[in-house]
Amino acid sequence: MNKEKLLEYYNGHKGEVIGAGVGLLFALSVLSLGILRTIFIAFCVIIGIYLGKKIYEDRKYLRNIADRILRFFNI
């Protein structure tokens, strides 16, 4: 298969290709690590994505969270 046909297929079916890749990665993780470890890794990745997005959008995001926590505990 040549490169142009492969790229054309990918551009036409991007969601399906990415979904298949994520599903394959998840299945391999479950088979090699177990379901609980895989879920833990997925949870950590999701938290990392969320925090990374928030920090990129607002540079003072972590400082604001720390201030809220300190105010909650009256420190």
Where exactly are the structural domains of the chain?
1-33, 34-75
Residue 61 CA, distance from chain mean position: 19
Judge whether residue 62 has pLDDT over 80.
yes
Query: Is 41 within 8 Å of 29 (Cβ atoms)?
Result: yes
- CA dist 14 and 47 (Å) reads 25
Q: Which residues have CB under 8 Å from 61's CB, separation 6+?
A: 51, 54, 55
The pLDDT of residue 43 is 94
Average pLDDT, the chain: 90
The pLDDT of residue 1 is 63
- CA dist 58 and 64 (Å) reads 10
Evaluate if pTM is beyond 0.75.
Answer: no
